[in-house]
Structure 1
Amino acid sequence: MDGQQTMERYLDKTMYENNEQQKETVNGRMRSVRIGCSYEDTSITLGFPVQEWQANRGGMMHGGMICTAFDITAAAIARFCAGENYAPTISLDVKYIRPVQIGDQLIVTAKATAAGKRITQIVCEARSKNTGKLAATAASVYMNVDTTKEKR
């Protein structure tokens, strides 16, 4: 099996874990959908339907929910890069550009820019599916924790 096939199988497993095994958590309630992945680019793209419960007082997707979509997507590529290791979020810096309407779909792409033994750095973009316009960007860092040597 080549790297692309390995990543696709990994993403299928991740989607099942998020949407079925964790359906009562925020990961499951976000109802992410697989858009695609690229082993060559070390990237994963997920879609997030913008739901009523995610609205802020202005009737748009709450910034915290955009941040959550970034974390879910970036964590997926961080865990892929970490292999069997645990990969907790160390930092997540979000820049909001424009609002996303309820009923739209937020399309998030996360790309690992550096994947080392201990740290994975990731950049993200979120776009409105309806308009194609950039809604937010993010930069995040994840730590690769060897679970055979360290406790979570």
Structure 2
Amino acid sequence: MKANDKAIAFLSQYIGKRMAHENPNPITRYLDGILKSVSAGSMTAEFEVREDQCNHAGVLHGGVISMLLDEMMGTTLITCDIEHLYVTINLSIDFLYGAKAGEKITVVSEVFRVGKKIANVEAKMYNAEGKLLAKGSSNLAATSIPFKM
């Protein structure tokens, strides 16, 4: 897979900073993570679990976990040389362990294949001790919307 050097250079300037900074995507602003690393087909970010993201049992809501993994997978895809924007067409999540408000979690995503129409991406979520909390995979379909960076 070819790298999108322009996107990687753009994202690299935000390493160590909040991903919500000047980001037009409301979901990215809501999740408010800190970008840790970015390279062709790979990205890592850290998030703090907030009370407003937890369910009635006091652990990170499954919908928020799905949103975190989906957002990271989609964002990671732009580090590859793509001509159009992609949208998620399926999302499979395994919820393994919970995380409580105040905990730091890390999401690592990786692009496995970018085809003419379909891309395959995976993401994993870890707690501060490195325990795997959730993992997901997604296929994304190319749209007719040109990707410009």
TM range, smaller chain: 0.7 to 0.9
8 A contact 2:19–2:28 mirrored in 1: no
Q: Distance in 2 between matches of 1:141 and 1:5?
A: 23
The answer for the alignment partner of 1:143 in structure 2 is: 141
Aligned length: 142
Match of 1:37 in 2: 38
Q: Distance between the aligned counterparts of 1:114 and 1:18, measured in 2? A: 27
Task: Check whether the contact 2:44–2:108 (CA below 8 A) recurs between aligned residues.
Answer: yes
RMSD between aligned alpha carbons? Answer: 2.5
Aligned to 1:109: 108
Read off the aligned partner of 1:106 and give its amino acid letter. I
Q: For the residues of structure 1 that align with 2:66 and 2:124, how far apart are their CA atoms?
A: 11
Alignment of 1:28 with 2:32, yes or no, is no
CA deviation after TM superposition for structure 1 residue 122, in Å: 0.7
TM-score, scaled relative to structure 2? 0.82
C-alpha change, 1:21 and 1:4, in structure 2 (3 Å) is closer
Q: Which runs of 4+ in 1 moved over 6 A?
A: 13-17
Q: Could you list the runs of 5+ residues in structure 1 that have no partner in the other structure?
A: none
Give, in angstroms, the shift of residue 144 of structure 1. 1.7
Q: Identity across aligned pairs (percent)?
A: 22
Q: How far, CA to CA, are the matches of 2:18 and 2:32 in structure 1?
A: 11
Higher strand share: 2
Alpha-carbon distance in 2 for matches of 1:5, 1:55: 37
**1:107/1:55 Cα in 2 relative to 1: closer, same or farther (>3 Å)?**
same
Deviation at 1:16? 7.9
Query: In 2, Cα distance between the equivalents of 1:12 and 1:37?
Result: 6
Distance of 1:119 and 1:83 partners within structure 2:
11
Give the equivalent residue in structure 1 for 2:96.
Answer: 97
Higher helix share: 1
CA drift of 1:48 comes to 1.7
* Superposed CA offset, 1:49-93 (max 9, x none): 111110111111111111111011000122333634111111110
Indicate the residue corresponding to 1:9 in structure 2. 9
Distance across 2 between alignment mates of 1:77 and 1:38: 9
